[in-house]
């Protein structure tokens, strides 16, 4: 494989609305998905809820939003092409579904925030395959923070009740530099460790947005891929431009349409977004032709330099090229037609924000309008009185507010309509009229990623037999024969069908196990394979293998079998390693509920996991669980009722805990494992103050909750 080859992909969640408003949004998108199953050639995904398509990509429902995922691509041209093809598919499905319902059109919107008042956001996620040994966060975070000047979708901050234009509406929803969470407390850098290929790790980014401009989308993908390549090549591109507070810096950059805002650098001084981007560009230009850089590096660098030079001249220089600048021009022109200066909105925004927040406190859900603010039964009368001195001090009058509030709602509607697919979409209409200049240079010749091409060919060949076949990113599975096509290596896709065994790297989907191959699958072998995968840090594969082992074993053993709690606690350890702490606690609690007396070594392992989870979550109320461990260890020699391995092999778990806990906490957990493996060593636990302070607690004492 060429060392410079790249793997790129994008997952886009779309907003779907019915013009007649007669259906619940979830019912609407579920109907759309049912139509997709009837209409599109596909194979079902591993749970049967999503579809792998003839393109090699995937369509499924994620948090009430249809999500279209591209197949793996090797260059930014191919990725843009696949995203646009996915949009055409979404538009066709929506038009057909709307006509089928005969009750109004179904609209599909490229947008990632809701401006109706819910303050919700949904995702457009980027994926970059890499083989870098170290964490990429230091190398790439300054780039992600500053690239908003050309990758921002533009629009309004939906966490504000005011009228705050931002280059990147997703940015206010990013509250940490690094995070494992994709639905709350999101980070600029997402450290999700999900291996969808044996040969590569995946950088999964959720800080971007859906884009209409081909140039903006192409540059976002191309420049970020080059930064990943630089990091993979050992260049350390982010070291010289590290920021003191990346979250605050990103918000400053996103709030400034002049691109002149500065943020404190970690090493002193201050940097603009353009300063940071020019630093990355210079490094990329200096390494064009290096063995680790893709063949298209020079093309990206030329366009990168051009857009930075244009941004330095002001937003007007990119008004026909980049999403945020195009939107800003439209918004300013619309405000001017309504007789309101754009700067007036910024002046009124704090007042509007105060009134909007007050309306929420009153639990009123209607839009903020002048009749609601000033009407005879206004719930905001007291707030208006309190704000009177502030408005007067601004040199403004309340009469201006009516026009401002009306304009605010019109701008929000324009924002939503900007990215609407098909007729009625503002960007689409401007593009059709020829007033935009967002195209990219012709693509060089490029070969498709082999596994994407193989997956697409198999979908086309096997579509229509969804009861027999299922598909994952790493394989296609035949439940009747127990065979599969291995797609684990993106660049060496297997051509032939192979009989699956539990020793293979790719755990099969649940649908595969429900077929005739089920009898050939041994849950113990599958569980042992999960242990190997966990120790190799292949946590998603380990989780899938254990869940399937549990499903198989539950169908084979009695309800009171000691194997059931043992397997579930092993799953809780995998979830702990993946930092899915809430889910791990629930599974661990289920294991304890299933662990009926007599208690044995599995009981001790379940209690260890509970203590570790509480400490990782910052909770210190572990005395009762330590007390139960004390009672267990004080009993006769620990038996083993579940036919489990006598020695608990968890060095990877202990190493993980040692990196995240205080030394005394990690030391206590290591001592517990040592004692469970050799009960005669229990006296060594007394050296730990927390253990010594815990009173023996009956094993029958109920746990206080999950």
Mean pLDDT of the 244-268 span: 97
Q: What is the enclosing helix (H) or strand (E) of 651?
A: helix 651-660
**Residue range 385-400, pLDDT digits in tens:** 999 999 999 999 999 9
DSSP assignment of 201-215 = EEEEE-S------HH
Q: Return d(Cα 528, Cα 325) in angstroms, integer.
A: 55
* Pairing mode, strands 174-179 and 186-190: parallel
Lowest-pLDDT choice from 100-109, 251-260, 408-417:
100-109
How many structural domains are present in the chain?
A: 2
Residue 376 is encoded by which pair of tokens? 């005879």
HEC states along 350-410?
HHHHHHHHHHHHCCCCCCCCHHHHHCCCCCCHHHHHHHHHHHHHCCCCCHHHHHHHHHHHH
Judge contact between 226 and 297, C-beta under 8 A: yes
Beta strands 174-179 and 65-69, pairing class: unpaired
N-terminal to C-terminal alpha carbon distance within the chain: 47
At 192-210, the pLDDT tens digits run 666 667 778 889 999 999 9
Q: Give CA separation, 254 vs 184, 214, 227, 248, 378, in Å.
A: 20, 20, 21, 10, 35
The CATH number of whichever domain residue 306 belongs to comes to 3.30.590
592, 565 Cβ separation under 8 angstroms: yes
521 inside domain = no
What 8-state DSSP symbol labels residue 472?
A: E
Cα distance between residue 428 and residue 223, in whole Å: 25
pLDDT at 705 over 80: no
Q: Could you tell me the CA-to-CA distances from 470 to 42, 451, 481, 507 in Å, in that order?
A: 9, 16, 13, 13
The full 3-state SS of 277-327, as one line of letters, equals HHHHHHHHHHCCCCCCCCCCHHHHHHHHHHHHHHHHHCHHHHCCCCHHHHH
Provide the 8-state DSSP code for 688. Answer: S
pLDDT, position 518: 54
User: pLDDT tens, 571-620?
Assistant: 999 999 988 888 999 999 999 999 878 888 889 999 999 999 999 888 76
- pLDDT tens column, 209-245: 999 999 999 999 999 999 999 999 999 999 999 999 9
Q: Which two tokens stand for residue 458?
A: 């198999």
C-alpha to C-alpha distance for 231 and 192, rounded to whole angstroms = 18
Q: Across 538-665, where does the E strand assignment appear? A: none
Strands (E), 581-672: none
What's the pLDDT at 706? 52
Q: How far is it, in rounded angstroms, from Cα 628 to Cα 700? A: 9
Provide the pairing of β-strand 155-156 with 165-166: antiparallel
pLDDT of residue 480: 84
Quick: pLDDT tens for 32-88.
999 999 999 999 987 777 999 999 999 998 877 899 999 999 999 999 999 999 999
Q: Tell me which residue has tokens 């980027």.
A: 126
Please report, for the chain, how many H helices and E strands are present, in that order: 25, 19
Nearest to 400 by CA among 332, 330, 345, 337: 345
Q: What's the mean pLDDT in 125-140?
A: 90
Per-residue confidence band for 1, with pLDDT thresholds at 50, 70 and 90: low
Residue pLDDT, tens place only, 413-428:
999 999 999 999 999 9
pLDDT score of 106 more than 60: yes
DSSP3 helix / strand / coil % (the chain, rounded to 5): 50, 10, 40
Instruction: Identify whether 371 is part of a domain.
Output: no
Q: Element (H or E) spanning 354, and its range?
A: helix 342-361
Residues 154, 212: contact at Cβ < 8 Å?
Answer: no
Q: How far apart are CA 107 and CA 208, in angstroms?
A: 22
d(CA 208, CA 186): 12
What does pTM read for this prediction?
0.78
3-class DSSP state for residue 58? strand
Per the listing, tokens 């191919």 go with 78
For residue 172, tell me if it sits in a domain.
Answer: yes
- pLDDT at position 116 is 87
CB of 41 within 8 A of CB of 460? yes
Residue indicated by tokens 């539990």: 502
571 contacts 585 by C-beta, under 8 angstroms: no
Q: Is 333 inside a domain boundary? A: no
Cα 373 → chain centroid: 39
Q: Which domain holds residue 254?
A: 8-326
**Comparing C-alpha atoms, which of 612, 591, 597 is closest to residue 703?**
591
Residue 120 within a domain:
yes
Hey, how many other C-beta atoms are within 10 angstroms of the C-beta on 258? 10
Q: Which of 326, 354, 377 is the last residue of a domain?
A: 326
pLDDT, one tens digit per residue, over 545-555 is: 888 888 888 87
Q: Picking from 389-393, 501-505, 545-549, 632-636, which range would have the lowest pLDDT averaged per residue?
A: 501-505
C-alpha span between 21 and 687 (Å, rounded): 66
pLDDT for 364: 87
Alpha carbons 150 and 145: distance in angstroms, whole number: 11
Find out whether 244 and 269 touch, Cβ atoms under 8 Å: no
pLDDT band, very low/low/confident/very high, at 184 (cuts 50, 70, 90): low
Q: How far is CA 148 from CA 111, 170, 277, in A?
A: 16, 10, 10
The answer, yes or no, to whether residue 307 has pLDDT greater than 90, is: yes
The sign of the torsion formed by the CA atoms of 649, 655, 656, 658 equals positive
**Inter-helix orientation angle 214-232/297-313, to 10°:** 120
> What number of other Cβ atoms are within 10 A of residue 284's Cβ?
25
Is 568 inside any structural domain? no
Confidence of residue 146 (pLDDT cuts 50, 70, 90): very high
CB 126 within 8 A of CB 208: yes
Q: What is the spatial order of strands in the sheet that 201-205 belongs to? A: 42-44, 51-53, 58-62, 65-69, 8-13, 124-130, 201-205
Note the pLDDT tens digit of each residue in 442-467.
888 777 899 999 999 999 999 988 78
DSSP 265: B
Cβ count near 206 (within 10 Å): 24
And the tokens for 659? 């990196």
CA distance 678 to 662: 24
Q: Which of 326, 353, 381 is the last residue of a domain?
A: 326
Query: Could you give the percent of the chain with pLDDT greater than 90?
Result: 60
Asked, as a colleague might, if the bond just before 464 is cis with ω within 30 of 0, I would say no
Residue 516 has pLDDT above 70, yes or no: no
State which of 273, 308, 326 marks the end of a domain. 326
Sign of torsion over alpha carbons 577, 185, 114, 322: negative
Sign of CA dihedral 39, 41, 44, 45: negative
């Amino acid at each position: 494989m060429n060392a410079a080859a790249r793997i790129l992909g994008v997952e886009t969640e779309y907003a779907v609305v019915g013009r007649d408003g007669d259906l619940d949004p979830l019912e609407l998108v579920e109907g759309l998905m049912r139509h997709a199953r009837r209409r599109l050639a596909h194979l079902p995904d591993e749970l049967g809820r999503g579809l792998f398509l003839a393109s090699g990509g995937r369509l499924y429902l994620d948090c009430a939003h249809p999500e279209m995922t591209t197949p793996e691509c090797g260059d930014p041209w191919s990725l843009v092409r696949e995203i646009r093809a996915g949009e055409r598919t979404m538009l066709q499905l929506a038009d057909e579904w709307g006509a089928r319902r005969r009750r109004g059109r179904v609209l599909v919107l490229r947008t990632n925030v809701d401006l109706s008042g819910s303050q919700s956001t949904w995702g457009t996620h980027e994926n970059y395959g890499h083989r870098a040994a170290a964490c990429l966060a230091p190398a790439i975070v300054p780039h992600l923070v500053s690239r908003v000047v050309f990758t921002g979708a533009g629009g309004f901050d939906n966490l504000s009740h005011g009228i705050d234009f931002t280059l990147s509406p997703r940015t206010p929803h990013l509250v940490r530099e690094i995070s494992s969470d994709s639905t709350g407390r999101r980070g600029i850098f997402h450290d999700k460790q999900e291996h969808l290929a044996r040969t590569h790790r995946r950088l999964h980014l959720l800080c971007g947005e859906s884009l209409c401009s081909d140039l903006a989308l192409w540059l976002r993908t191309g420049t970020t891929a080059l930064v990943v390549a630089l990091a993979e090549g050992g260049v350390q591109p982010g070291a010289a431009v590290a920021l003191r507070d990346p979250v605050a810096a990103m918000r400053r950059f996103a709030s400034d349409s002049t691109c002149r805002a500065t943020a404190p650098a970690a090493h002193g001084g201050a940097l603009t977004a353009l300063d940071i981007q020019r630093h990355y560009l210079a490094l990329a230009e200096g390494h064009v032709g290096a063995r680790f850089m893709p063949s298209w590096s020079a093309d990206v660098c030329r366009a990168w330099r051009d857009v930075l030079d244009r941004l330095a001249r002001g937003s007007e220089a990119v008004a026909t090229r980049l999403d945020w600048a195009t939107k800003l021009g439209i918004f300013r022109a619309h405000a001017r037609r309504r007789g309101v200066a754009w700067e007036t909105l910024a002046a009124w925004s704090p007042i509007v924000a105060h009134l909007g927040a007050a309306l929420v406190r009153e639990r009123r859900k209607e839009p903020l309008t002048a009749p609601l603010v000033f009407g005879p039964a206004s719930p905001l009368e007291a707030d208006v009185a309190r704000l009177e001195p502030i408005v007067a001090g601004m040199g403004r009058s309340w009469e201006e507010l009516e026009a401002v509030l009306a304009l605010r709602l019109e701008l929000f509607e324009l924002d939503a309509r900007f990215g609407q697919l098909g007729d009625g979409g503002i960007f689409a209409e401007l593009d059709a009229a020829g007033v935009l200049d967002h195209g990219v240079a012709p693509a060089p010749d490029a070969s498709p990623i082999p596994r994407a091409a193989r997956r697409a060919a198999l979908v086309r060949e096997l579509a229509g037999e969804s009861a027999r076949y299922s598909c994952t990113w790493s394989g296609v599975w035949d439940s009747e024969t127990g065979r599969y096509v291995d797609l684990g290596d993106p660049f060496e896709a297997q051509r032939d069908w192979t009989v699956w065994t539990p020793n293979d790297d790719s755990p099969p989907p649940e649908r595969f196990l429900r077929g005739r191959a089920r009898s050939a699958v041994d849950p113990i072998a599958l569980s042992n394979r999960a242990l190997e995968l966990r120790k190799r840090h292949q946590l998603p594969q380990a989780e899938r293998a254990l869940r399937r082992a549990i499903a198989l074993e539950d169908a084979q053993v009695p309800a009171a079998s000691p194997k059931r709690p043992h397997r579930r606690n092993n799953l809780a350890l995998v979830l702990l390693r993946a930092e899915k702490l809430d889910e791990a606690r629930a599974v661990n609690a289920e294991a304890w509920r299933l662990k009926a007396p007599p208690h044995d070594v599995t009981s001790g392992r379940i209690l260890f996991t509970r203590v570790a989870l509480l400490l990782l979550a910052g909770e210190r109320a572990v005395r009762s669980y330590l007390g139960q461990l004390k009672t267990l260890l004080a009993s006769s020699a620990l038996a083993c009722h579940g036919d489990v391995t006598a020695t608990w092999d968890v060095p990877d778990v202990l190493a993980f805990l040692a990196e995240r806990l205080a030394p005394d906490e990690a030391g206590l957990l290591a001592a517990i494992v040592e004692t469970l493996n050799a009960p005669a060593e229990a006296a060594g636990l007394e050296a730990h103050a927390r253990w010594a302070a815990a009173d023996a607690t009956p094993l029958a004492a109920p746990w206080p909750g999950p």
